[in-house]
Amino acid sequence: MHTQPELDTSPRVSDEIRQTTCYMCACRCGINVHMKNGEIAYIEGNRDHPVNKGVLCGKGAAGIMQHTAPSRLRAPLKRVGPRGSGEFEEISWDEALDTATAWLKPLRETDPKRFAFFTGRDQSQSFTGYWAQAFGTPNFAAHGGFCSVNMAAGGIYTMGGAFWEFGEPDWDHTKLFLIFGVAEDHSSNPIKIGIGKLKARGAKIIGINPIRSGYNAVADDWYGITPGTDGLFILSLVHCLLKAGKVDLEYLARYTNAPCLVNMDEAADEYGLILKDDDGRDLVWDANENRPRCFDKPDVEPDLAATWRHAGVTHKPVFHLIAERYLSDEYAPETVASTVGIPAERIRALAAELADVAFNQAIEIKRPWTDFRGQRHETMVGRPVSMHAMRGISAHANGFQTCRALHLLQILLGAVETPGSFRFKPPYPKPPEAHPKPHADARAGAPLRGPHLGYPLGPEHLCIDDDGAPQRIDKAYTWENPLSAHGLMHMVISNAVAGDPYRIDTLMLYMANMAWNSSMNTAQTMAMLTATDDNGDYKIPRIIYSDAYSSEMVAYADLILPDTTYLERHDCISLLDRPISDAERAADAIRWPIVEPDRDVRAFQSVLCDLGHRLGLPGFTTAEGEPAFADYADYITNHERRPGVGPLSGWRTGPEGSGVGGTSSVADGRGSPNPEQIDRYIENGGFWTAEIPDEAQFYKPWNQAYQAWSVDIGLVDAPAPYTFNLYSEPLRRFQLAAEGKGAHQPPAHLRDRILAELDPLPIWRPTGTEADDGYPIHALTQRPMAMYHSWGTQNAWLRQIHGQNPLYVPTSLWEAHGFSDGDWARVTSPHGEITVPVAHMAALNENTVWTWNAIGKRKGAWALDKDAPEATKGFLLNHLIHELLPPRGDGMRWSNSDPVTGQAAWFDLKVRIGRIPAEDVPSATDPAFPPLTSPVPPAPETVRRKLRP
Ligand code: SF4
């Protein structure tokens, strides 16, 4: 008789689960790491976690291969061959830290600005910034300048927050969701979960993107817009809504500066500024008392239409200026259609749909609340239209104003912080006035007087000397890039090599692959990193680099401080930085060592604690000269940024005692350090949350209950309600300077640019590449859903999804050039040429080509085989992009960046393409660079992994 074999359908997969936070992208989902016999067996999503609620993406599941990657650095390294060769010898941590101390200590004692410290996509910027501030160098920033500072700054200056980490759609109520320029890696599980909710409810999703992949592919409708024209498209929607009278007048009058009175006297010093009372507070026309009154008076009735003429000066409300500008036929759909690549009737149809959902399908939640004027409302009225945007609209030379235009559209619809629309995540909203100002005044042997990065409110906050010279190596916060709120990391290497504005001695980088996919002009960047002066000395004399992996950048450093993987370290995802909050709760999280490193590596933040003590930095050394912190976990637990406020907000010590074990002495938000705080986080799955009270969950900038809650929780020290800045006075102050008014004056050659670009109302201007005759095609990159930046292309599982990257070509160009499957093309920009495989894609703007970003790898890096497809069939568009624009005949080379924030304009690239005849198809993509000597051994041919039963 045949008997069925006994199958164990539920094998025991683990004997312990450790809960921490994923770091395979920036979404910071909660994960359950299953352990078997002390080893990591597999990873799943944490169902209790507020970010992902159990969902795990492919990247997150593949974290185990990141943790075991053959490319992991094994010990500190000292360069022994020429820079760029990849030749190193392993050294001890003592030697590494002694070397770093010997390099940095004299710089701090004499001229701290000769040390520059820039980080990539790390998640500890409040810590690394604090360390750099203690060192005293003005030269610190993270990667935002070449990522999405336009998004952040456009949002902060307009409404006190932006998309992604600042806010999210009201997924439970929205009926119409628009996504602009969203690549799927940047907003992974939270957006996927949200889109799932919308699909289940039958809500409509519309994608506006030249490329229909990812979220755009599952959208109900798609607008394949011409790159760089989003701002014009959005302002045309604004035009249609204003013409139809479909804007939320009550919302505008109550919660924005639309009723504020603007001085229209061209001769006045205050021309274009908002009329103030004696305390410097904005004045509106009060329809109750028929006179100007402060905007926040309890009984004020702000009037959007009244013009006030007083003492010979006319004052117009902001809304008047908005109507004057956007009702112009300049923004009519028929005028803009050919530029944006979308027929006029489709623009009108979308505007009508927005109006219909916002006003005819409004929702009302019966939830009383009290606004900042003290007026009680019995219900919350919702405009169920929500939007989300990312780099696709911001990485252009007009990106800042485009982001502002999108917020203008949201606000005109009353679709921010209302039910069904876009909502802020604590600690946002935070208007520019609530952020610090930038500091850059370096002093020998002393810390900087304040944080490096902030939001200038006028020319007086620029980081320039009395003679106008930049104080920072990246020239952030200068007349060239006045609102560069995240710095300009992409300009650091070229400025340092040019000695413009000055030479530096030591450059320290963390998690930033500047010798490859994180730089424009990659080949020239490598040349700059190895450039020598007349004495044969490197123009950047010393480079320290910290990374967990053998990336291309490792070869270009002199001293390597090897980092751990994310499963071997402490981290904190802090409310002081970019936390994991959502619209209904504040939340923060930790990582902790799930396993101990099996190599001689240390968490970079712990290394900085040690180095900070060796350098005697304030905050890192006790009065007795001892280390202030044993390691980063000690810092996370005991550092206080303000009394009672530290990196983690959960389980702090309350007024009555130890704060241990969930007693009444536990304090959330504000409280003294608790020595067992990290243990409490671990017990709770690695995260902490604090629910926003029901009555405080909407209208946050104006809601008394929210303002009080945010003081309780330690987000702010006093209530600070504000109104949205449709009209931005900080921008107008820069224009006034360019008009010759005020004590701070720009150089003559920048006056016209400042006047044109820093318009206080959103504008659209061409990106500047329209004139690139001979290069008619837009060229873009998108980051794939399966990978985050370049991290995934060394991952054994994820490489099977994207091991190479063709250039995707739309049907019209495909046919015009006679391409067929398997063809290759030569792609040429004003700056360079690449040779790459092509593939046909129909769902694409007809004048745009694109590829996945950062798949291409240099031979010898990441412990990949020298013939790995990433190095032979993968490629970067970076070779085609220069950090300077081509000469324009005016004697200057203008920066390839946004003139307001300095954001790198990656997506302004224009090219021409040509088919390579079949007989000339090369065996590998071009350019190819000589293989690097790998500082780690080659990966094994085969890995077999079976955990002991
Ligand atoms: S979305 Fe990002 S953080 Fe979440 S599981 Fe995937 S890789 Fe990890």
Query: Where do the DSSP E strands lie in 789-888?
Result: 807-809, 824-828, 833-840, 848-852
pLDDT per position as a tens digit, 843-865: 999 999 999 998 999 999 999 99
Q: Grade residue 890 by pLDDT with cuts at 50, 70 and 90.
A: confident
Give me the percent of the chain exceeding a pLDDT of 70: 98
Q: Is the CB of 789 under 6 A from ligand 1?
A: no
pLDDT per position as a tens digit, 549-566: 999 999 999 999 999 999
Question: Which residue out of 31, 32, 51, 57 has the highest number of ligand 1 atoms within 8 Å of its CB and is therefore the one to mutate?
Answer: 57
Q: What is the pLDDT of residue 477?
A: 98
Structure tokens at 674: 């608790």
Q: Grade residue 948 by pLDDT with cuts at 50, 70 and 90.
A: low
Residue 23 Cα to ligand 1 midpoint, Å, equals 7
Closest ligand 1 atom to 190 CA = 1
Could you count the other beta carbons within 10 Å of the beta carbon of residue 744? 17
Residue 775 Cα to ligand 1 midpoint, Å, equals 38
Q: Is the CB of 783 under 6 A from ligand 1?
A: no
Q: What is the pLDDT of residue 941?
A: 84
Q: Whose CA is nearest to atom 8 of ligand 1?
A: 60
Q: What is the pLDDT of residue 335?
A: 98
Q: Is the CB of 139 under 6 A from ligand 1?
A: no
Q: Is the peptide bond between 501 and the residue preceding it cis, with omega within 30 degrees of 0?
A: yes
Structure tokens at 696: 């405080």
User: Minimum mean pLDDT among 85-89, 200-204, 764-768: which range?
Assistant: 764-768
Beta-strand pair 824-828/687-691? unpaired
pLDDT per position as a tens digit, 692-703: 999 999 999 999
Closest ligand 1 atom to 27 CA = 3
* Pair 128, 380: CB distance under 8 Å: no
pLDDT per position as a tens digit, 53-111: 999 999 999 999 999 999 999 999 999 999 999 999 999 999 999 999 999 999 999 99
User: Minimum mean pLDDT among 10-14, 247-251, 469-473, 598-602: which range?
Assistant: 10-14
Handedness of CA 315, 320, 322, 325 (dihedral sign): negative
Q: What is the pLDDT of residue 794?
A: 87
Mean pLDDT computed over 456-477: 97
C-alpha to C-alpha distance for 544 and 514, rounded to whole angstroms: 13
User: Minimum mean pLDDT among 144-153, 169-178, 195-204, 901-910: which range?
Assistant: 144-153
Residue 30 Cα to ligand 1 midpoint, Å, equals 8
Q: Is the CB of 522 under 6 A from ligand 1?
A: no
C-alpha to C-alpha distance for 578 and 126, rounded to whole angstroms: 9
Q: What is the pLDDT of residue 9?
A: 83
C-alpha to C-alpha distance for 103 and 107, rounded to whole angstroms: 7
Q: Is the CB of 787 under 6 A from ligand 1?
A: no
Residue 335 Cα to ligand 1 midpoint, Å, equals 43
SS3 117: strand
The DSSP call for residue 160 is S
Structure tokens at 403: 């982001």
Question: Which residue out of 32, 44, 56, 801 has the highest number of ligand 1 atoms within 8 Å of its CB and is therefore the one to mutate?
Answer: 56
Residue 70 Cα to ligand 1 midpoint, Å, equals 22
Residue 59 Cα to ligand 1 midpoint, Å, equals 6
Q: What is the pLDDT of residue 947?
A: 64
| pLDDT higher than 60, residue 24 | yes
Q: What is the pLDDT of residue 856?
A: 94
Residue 64 Cα to ligand 1 midpoint, Å, equals 13
Residue 188 Cα to ligand 1 midpoint, Å, equals 7
Residue 55 Cα to ligand 1 midpoint, Å, equals 9
Looking up tokens 């000292």, which residue turns up?
Answer: 78
| pLDDT higher than 70, residue 663 | no
Q: Is the CB of 57 under 6 A from ligand 1?
A: yes
Q: Is the CB of 347 under 6 A from ligand 1?
A: no
C-alpha to C-alpha distance for 203 and 174, rounded to whole angstroms: 7
Beta-strand pair 115-119/506-510? parallel
| pLDDT higher than 90, residue 773 | no
pLDDT per position as a tens digit, 316-345: 999 999 999 999 999 999 999 999 999 999
Q: Grade residue 757 by pLDDT with cuts at 50, 70 and 90.
A: very high
Q: Is the CB of 20 under 6 A from ligand 1?
A: no
**Which H or E run includes 310?**
strand 308-310
Q: Is the CB of 22 under 6 A from ligand 1?
A: yes
Mean pLDDT of the chain: 94
Q: Is the CB of 28 under 6 A from ligand 1?
A: yes
Mean pLDDT computed over 827-841: 96
The per-residue b/e assignment along 75-105, b for 16 or more CB within 10 angstroms, e otherwise, is bbbebeeebbbbebebbebeebbebbbebbe
Q: Is the CB of 29 under 6 A from ligand 1?
A: yes
| pLDDT higher than 90, residue 822 | yes
Mean pLDDT computed over 445-453: 97
Phi and psi angles of residue 21, each rounded to the nearest 5 degrees, phi first: -120, 130
pLDDT per position as a tens digit, 508-529: 999 999 999 999 989 999 999 9
The DSSP call for residue 884 is B
Q: What is the pLDDT of residue 558?
A: 98
Could you count the other beta carbons within 10 Å of the beta carbon of residue 296? 17
- CA 132, distance to chain mean position in Å, is 20
* Pair 24, 59: CB distance under 8 Å: yes
Q: Grade residue 656 by pLDDT with cuts at 50, 70 and 90.
A: low
Mean pLDDT computed over 862-888: 91
Q: Which residues lie closer than 8 Å to 889 by C-beta, 6 or more apart?
A: none
Q: Is the CB of 55 under 6 A from ligand 1?
A: no
Closest ligand 1 atom to 21 CA = 3
Could you count the other beta carbons within 10 Å of the beta carbon of residue 635? 26
Q: Is the CB of 60 under 6 A from ligand 1?
A: yes
Q: Is the CB of 27 under 6 A from ligand 1?
A: yes
Question: Which residue out of 31, 33, 55, 59 has the highest number of ligand 1 atoms within 8 Å of its CB and is therefore the one to mutate?
Answer: 59
| pLDDT higher than 60, residue 785 | yes
Question: Which residue out of 33, 46, 49, 52 has the highest number of ligand 1 atoms within 8 Å of its CB and is therefore the one to mutate?
Answer: 52
| Number of alpha carbons in the 13 Å side-chain half-sphere of residue 82 | 12
Q: What is the pLDDT of residue 891?
A: 80
Q: Grade residue 291 by pLDDT with cuts at 50, 70 and 90.
A: very high
C-alpha to C-alpha distance for 531 and 537, rounded to whole angstroms: 8
Q: Vertex 32, ends 30 and 35: CA angle to 5°?
A: 150
pLDDT per position as a tens digit, 401-433: 999 999 999 999 999 999 999 999 999 999 999
Q: What is the pLDDT of residue 322?
A: 98
Q: Is the CB of 190 under 6 A from ligand 1?
A: no
Q: Is the CB of 564 under 6 A from ligand 1?
A: no
Q: What is the pLDDT of residue 122?
A: 78
The per-residue b/e assignment along 485-522, b for 16 or more CB within 10 angstroms, e otherwise, is bbbbbbbbbbbbbeeebbbbbbbbbbbbbbbbbbbbbb
Give me the percent of the chain exceeding a pLDDT of 90: 88
Q: Grade residue 769 by pLDDT with cuts at 50, 70 and 90.
A: confident
* Pair 206, 350: CB distance under 8 Å: yes
Picking from 73, 12, 395, the residue whose alpha carbon sits closest to that of residue 210 is 395
Q: What is the pLDDT of residue 267?
A: 95
Q: Please state the pTM of the whole predicted model.
A: 0.96
Q: What is the pLDDT of residue 937?
A: 94
Residue 73 Cα to ligand 1 midpoint, Å, equals 23
Name the more confident of 495 and 790. 495
